Amino acid sequence: MPDPAVPPTPAVPLAALLAREDLALRRIAGPSDPALPVHAAHTSEMSDPYPYLLGGELLLTAGVHIPPGAGSGTYFDDYVSRIVAAGGAALGFGLAPVHDTVPPALVAACDRHGLPLLEVPPQTPFTAVARAVWQLLARARLAELRRVSEAQQSLAAAAARPDPVPSVLRQLAQRLGGRAALYGPEGTGIASAGREPDPAVRDALAELTEVVRPSGPGTPTSATHATADTHLAAYALGGGFVLALATPGREPGDHTIASVAAVLLTLLTGEQHSGSGAARTAALVRLLLGGTAKDVAPLLGGDDSWLVVHAAPPAPGDRPRPEARPAADHPRPPGLLAATALGAALGSPLIDAVGEDVRILLPGDREPAPQPGWTLGVSAAVPARELPDADGQAARALARARATRAPLVRHGTRAGLDALVPREDAEAHARALLGPLAEHPALAETLRTWLSLHGSWDRTAVALSVHRNTVRQRIARCARLLDAELDDPDVRMELWFALRQR
């Protein structure tokens, strides 16, 4: 017969039932292990209860099934052996109304087969025993859920520490009371925490990691093995990494806790050790050590040109209100998770989510598409050395997208009149013409936006998230500082040409 399957849920120790004074149960035969687990209570008067047991039950009987003269034959031996074969945890025998005492032959059979035998007094109904079991099971399940929840929180907090991988392993080893180790793709140990196992267990754990290491179709993602006093488990993390555990036992919630740790370590090892993650780290280090954008660009996996995308939630409201706009009416800075999701949708992990807008770097051959819930401004494709210019292009495209309520606006790439003027001369002219605005960046930005929107007060107010009267005041001040007639189209053209060179 196959070994009975014990439910993977918290159990009630038999000692907890014996300690209930309201039940008045008494152990009269079998082993006295106080930690013997009970998973359920079941009443049966069948002479062969095997087909009706799942394993781990306290079987309750009043002895109705016992035939006359059973004590002189093998009836009790057969009966108890079937309970043990089914995985029964213990047998409770109720006194009265059928039997005044527990049959001695049943006591002897339970001693021989190692099955705990409890005497249930006449004043204790079987339903009271079953109810007590379920009450204790509910408490055990609640305690287990609390343990798993606390472990999940502590693992998540460990993953946010500056040293996330060792911190997760330490927390996992502490929660499971054993050893947690991370093995690399080559099978070598990378980090570990917890009690050091003996050499035989350590070798067995290393062998178990090879079972889940990818070797072709059908490779399992997890594997377990039990020795005399240690439970071993291995979890594949992806990329050849394996999480290995050696614990004194196996509680029902241990697998859930280990699975959470495996997910966290998968994310951590994938980010820190994958090729793209290592390249991004190398790019950052190179920039911090004085490298240029041109030097760093090849590490990021792009070609010779790049796009900069500025993204933000669309501005609320169709028109600016006559009264002052409250702070809550402005677009809120997007969260990091939302920014990461947007980067994934556009196909790039190179995001900057610090500030009101999200900035994303894309290879120049990409064609960004509008994204639901976002307003996008896209620069022209530029070489790496011109990325700061592309950043300004994307910012201006985003402002225009907000003002026109378009989901996506691209910076124009068509050659204009400014291409006929040498860049140095154009920049010198812009500095001279716009000199009076040099110390007033808000005025220069308002003038640029106002000109780009053909002198629309309302659209400029929306683009800059200010009141339309503020726009009027700033434009009037620009006219005074520049000593220019801004209604003249020739003046507007010259100012627009200069502002494009800034």
Q: Supply the pLDDT for residue 322.
A: 39
Name the one residue in this structure whose structure tokens are 């004590």. 71
SS3 142: helix
Q: What is the pLDDT of residues 129-142, one digit of tens each?
A: 999 999 999 998 89
What is the spatial distance between Cα 276 and Cα 270, in angstroms, rounded to a whole number? 9
Segment 78-131, tens digit of pLDDT: 999 999 999 999 999 999 889 999 999 999 999 999 999 999 999 999 999 999
Q: 163-211 pLDDT, tens per residue?
A: 788 899 999 999 999 999 988 877 778 888 998 888 888 888 888 988 8
Residue 316's pLDDT band (cuts 50, 70, 90) = very low
Considering only 85-89, 292-296, 404-408, 456-460, which range has the smallest mean pLDDT? 292-296
Ramachandran region of residue 114, left (φ > 0), alpha (ψ -120 to 50) or beta? left
Task: Report which of residues 301 and 368 the model is more confident about.
Answer: 368
Matching CATH topology for 12-137 and 417-501? Answer: no
How far is CA 99 from its chain centroid? 59
Residue 48: predicted pLDDT: 95
pLDDT at 502 > cutoff 80? no
Q: Which sign does the torsion angle of CA 281, 287, 288, 290 carry?
A: positive
- The DSSP output letter for 56 is S
What tokens appear for 280 in the block? 């991004």
- The mean of the pLDDT values for the chain is 84
Per-residue pLDDT tens over the stretch 211-268: 888 766 778 888 888 876 789 999 988 777 899 999 988 887 888 899 899 988 888 8
Determine the angle formed by the axes of helices 457-464 and 387-404, rounding to 10 degrees: 120
| Beta bridge mates, 351 | 360
Domain at 12-137: CATH code: 3.40.1390.20
With beta carbons less than 8 A apart as the criterion, state whether 193 and 166 touch: yes
pLDDT of 168: 92
pLDDT tens, position by position, 351-363: 887 677 889 988 8
Which two structure tokens, joined as six digits, stand for 125? 């109904």
**Best-predicted range by mean pLDDT among 7-11, 292-296, 414-418, 480-484?**
480-484
pLDDT for the residue 327:
38
Mean pLDDT of 380-406: 85
pTM of the entire predicted model:
0.50
CATH number of 417-501: 1.10.10.2840
Average pLDDT over residues 380-393: 86
High-pLDDT (> 70) share of the chain, %: 86
pLDDT surpasses 70 at 404: yes
Domain ranges of the chain: 12-137, 160-273, 304-410, 417-501
* Residue 361 backbone zone (phi > 0: left; psi -120 to 50: alpha; other: beta): beta
- Specify the CATH number of the domain 160-273: 3.30.450.30
Give the end-to-end CA distance of the chain in Å, rounded to a whole number.
85
